[in-house]
Amino acid sequence: MSFLDLKNVTKIYPNGTKAVHETSLSVDEGEFMVFVGPSGCGKSTLLRMVAGLEDITEGDINLDGQLINEVDPSERDVAMVFQNYALYPHMNVYNNLAYGLKNRGIDKETIEQKVNDAAKLLQISDFLQRKPSMLSGGQRQRVAMGRAIVRNPKIFLFDEPLSNLDAKLRIQMRLEIKKLQQKVGVTSIFVTHDQVEAMTLADRLAVINNGIIEQLGTPIEIYNNPESLFVAGFIGSPQMNFLDANLNNKTLSAENFEIKNIDSDYNGEVTLGIRPEHLIESENGLINLKVELVEQLGSDNLVYGQIKNIKDFCYRSPGNQTIKRGDTLSLNIEENKYYIFDKSTGKRVN
Amino acid sequence: MKIKPLQIVAHIILIIGVLLMVLPIWISFASSTHENVSILTEGMRFTLGDQFSRNYNEVLNEKGGWSEEVTAAKMFVNSFIMALGIATLKVAISAMSAYALVYYRFKLAVPIFWLIFITLLVPLEVRIFPSYKIVSDLGLTNSYTGLILPLVASATATFFFRQFYKTIPDELLESAKLDGANAWSFFIDFLVPLSKTMIAAMFIFMFVYGYSQYLWPLIMTTAEEYWTVVMGMKIIYTESYEGVALPRTAERFAYIILSMIPPVLVVVFLQKWFIKGLIQTEK
């Protein structure tokens, strides 16, 4: 049995909403697991069930070999960082960090030492006497993390902790969280709706949609091999391009091109997915893209255009190229870098 | 700086308001320092007289009442104990009941809240006979407990605390739970310090409410040693009207001035928090 084990966990709210469907998942000790999905997909509910803040309707959760379904949150030895940090507004930073330790009946000297160690690690030693209202967003974030670290819990739970920060700080804190987790080595679950955050932080990633884990794997596995239309569309930025197509006898016919010798026995209507970064310019390419808009990012250009009736088709070109509105580009797909999904079920078929 | 005419008008209105508030108190105070004779012959006074120490000394230490056993000083102590008891218990009970109503999500929480709220329509004066019956059956007439106990429940304060607790984000409770706080420590470590301005404001209201109670102590107490200031104002010098003695107007004014001091002190000491509690929340 692994460190954290969810077995057929289901959450049904009193009003009948089913937030999480029979989800099973294990997290190894020291692993950084990320739950990613659109808002309302049940990822936070799942996290809160691990924390003990939501009752479990069905199923079992085991933490460190102990069934914790009925264990009170205060007894679970888990620490959580909330979206709005939930710092204690009337206590200074020192007491914010020390509160959990005091409740555990730890003696004063040990508390002081632990708080100071955590503060040093997070570089908040200078603010220990301040109230949370006197801190900036990034500092509050650190205090929230410090409050989790100082208790040395079995597991860290992060509930979208970066979504209140501005873009630059978010990237910086993302890095810091990852570094910190590697340094401290505590098992962590991180919930986010931001797929870049998810990709960069995770050892393993669970893509959740409508209360179901759609796919579980390392970020690169999921990026390279999305198993469903949802995962393909959700992971990757800019988003994967989708085209309607037909698959018959291993030949895929889209609106104005064909791909032969496809490794699939499926016949019928499908959706073809191509990532913008998997296209290359070539003479007599499969796809003719009429350029409508170019976003220059410096390192890359994001080219949006039209193929016959399909709008906003995206192609990522190297940044040194000059492409203008009105140009027509001839594009090929990198070898085997396309994904075919059953149009009705959304399941991958190639 | 140029002063605009509108400002002058505004200031005149404000000054009139201040005078309306202050003048009656000043006249009472000034009159309390004169001899009875001069007030009787020349009316109320705007200037200070020379009888300050005599009048106040007499008021505080003279034994009054029907059996001439109680002094005004004793009545001040009684009123203070009563008001303090009422205010403290009202605040404590309301804060705790609001805590239960907001954080324990049982089905009856809302109906119970409205039930509590409805009691605003039934002040003590309306239920004075049943209240008296209960207190007297319990043998609590002529005791501080009897003076305080029937007045300690407060719908108003419960309502204010409830509204305040509802604005505290749920994450705070959740975070505290994960930090190992139980129901009691969440109340003591979080809700009480977060609502301390509210507590101060409520304490002032309730202190003044308790201090100015008239009907209940009047009915409740037959022994003079439990008389309160507000009762005494009516009773303590009545006997002086009989016979040939002059009405003791100056002493009455002195008594009134003295009776204002305890509530004023409470307001002065708590006003910083009181104002904060009314205009902002520390979150």
Rounded to 5 degrees, φ, ψ at A239 are: -60, 150
Q: What is the DSSP letter of A228?
A: B
Predicted ipTM? 0.83
Which residues of chain B are within 8 Å of residue A103 when distances are taken between CB atoms? Answer: 179-181, 185
Query: Higher-confidence residue: A195 or A309?
Result: A195
Work out the angle at residue B157's Cα, subtended by the Cα atoms of residues B151 and B161, and round it to the nearest 5 degrees. Answer: 145
Alpha-carbon dihedral B156, B161, B162, B165, rounded to 10 degrees:
170
Distance from CA of B165 to the nearest CA of A (A): 14
> Would you call A84 an interface residue with chain B, using a CB distance cutoff of 8 Å?
yes
- pLDDT-derived band at B239 (thresholds 50, 70, 90) equals low
Same domain? For A22 and A167 the reply is yes
| CA end-to-end distance (rounded Å), chain B | 38
CATH superfamily name and code, B64-279: MetI-like (1.10.3720.10)
Distance from CA of B272 to the nearest CA of A (A): 17
Task: Tell me how far apart the alpha carbons of residues B72 and B51 are, in angstroms, rounded to a whole number.
Answer: 18
Check B179 against A84: CB less than 8 A apart.
Answer: no
Domain final position from A230, A256, A279: A230
Whether A110 is covered by a domain: the verdict is yes
Distance from CA of A99 to the nearest CA of B (A): 7
- pLDDT-derived band at B275 (thresholds 50, 70, 90) equals confident
pLDDT tens digits along B120-176: 888 888 888 998 999 999 998 889 999 999 889 889 999 999 999 999 999 999 999
Nearest residue in B to A159, CA atom:
B171
> How confident is the prediction for chain A on average, in pLDDT?
90
pLDDT tens digits along A63-116: 998 999 999 988 889 999 998 889 999 999 999 999 999 998 899 999 999 999
Same domain? For A81 and A170 the reply is yes
Would you kindly state where each structural domain of chain B is located, as residue ranges? 64-279
Check A53 against B177: CB less than 8 A apart.
Answer: yes
Instruction: Determine which of A113-117, A330-334, B39-43, B61-65 has the lowest per-residue pLDDT on average.
Output: B61-65
Q: What is the span of the domain harbouring residue A290?
A: 238-342
Share of chain B above pLDDT 90, in %: 33
Which residues of chain B are within 8 Å of residue A52 when distances are taken between CB atoms? Answer: 177-178
Written as six digits, the tokens of A163 are 């979504």
Same domain? For A100 and A216 the reply is yes
- Residue-level length of chain B: 283
pLDDT for res A114: 93
Whether A347 is covered by a domain: the verdict is no
Are the C-beta atoms of residues B232 and B64 closer than 8 Å to each other? yes
Same domain? For A54 and A203 the reply is yes
Same domain? For A34 and A89 the reply is yes
CATH number, domain of A52, equals 3.40.50.300
Domain final position from A230, A262, A293: A230
Q: Is pLDDT above 50 for A335?
A: yes
Query: Higher-confidence residue: A159 or B71?
Result: A159
Same domain? For A205 and A277 the reply is no
> Nearest CB to A90: which of B171, B178, B193?
B193
Q: Give residue A124's Cα distance to chain centre.
A: 27
For A83, half-sphere exposure in the C-beta direction (CA atoms, 13 angstrom radius) is 12
Tokens 């070898």 label which residue? A335
Same domain? For A16 and A63 the reply is yes
Pairing relationship of beta strands A58-63 and A32-36 according to DSSP bridges: unpaired
Domain final position from A230, A254, A283: A230
CATH number, domain of A277, equals 2.40.50.140
Written as six digits, the tokens of B2 are 């140029």
Check A88 against B282: CB less than 8 A apart.
Answer: no
- pLDDT-derived band at B283 (thresholds 50, 70, 90) equals very low
Which residues of chain A are within 8 Å of residue B169 when distances are taken between CB atoms? Answer: 84, 86
Alpha-carbon dihedral A48, A49, A54, A56, rounded to 10 degrees:
160
Distance from CA of A53 to the nearest CA of B (A): 7
Check A86 against B174: CB less than 8 A apart.
Answer: yes
Whether A77 is covered by a domain: the verdict is yes
Q: Is pLDDT above 80 for A341?
A: yes
Same domain? For A156 and A186 the reply is yes
Please say whether the dihedral angle defined by the alpha carbons of residues B39, B40, B41 and B43, taken in this order, is positive or negative. Answer: positive
- pLDDT-derived band at A199 (thresholds 50, 70, 90) equals very high
Same domain? For A220 and A261 the reply is no
- A181: closest CA among A135, A208, A149? A149
How many structural domains is chain A composed of?
2
Same domain? For A100 and A180 the reply is yes
Interface residues of B toward A, Cβ cutoff 8 Å, are 169, 171-172, 174-182, 185, 189-190, 193-194, 282-283
Instruction: Determine which of A24-28, A308-312, B139-143, B216-220 has the lowest per-residue pLDDT on average.
Output: A308-312
Q: Is pLDDT above 90 for B72?
A: no
What average pLDDT does the segment B37-62 reach?
81
Same domain? For A111 and A19 the reply is yes
Check B283 against A88: CB less than 8 A apart.
Answer: no
pLDDT tens digits along B207-231: 999 998 888 988 888 888 888 888 8
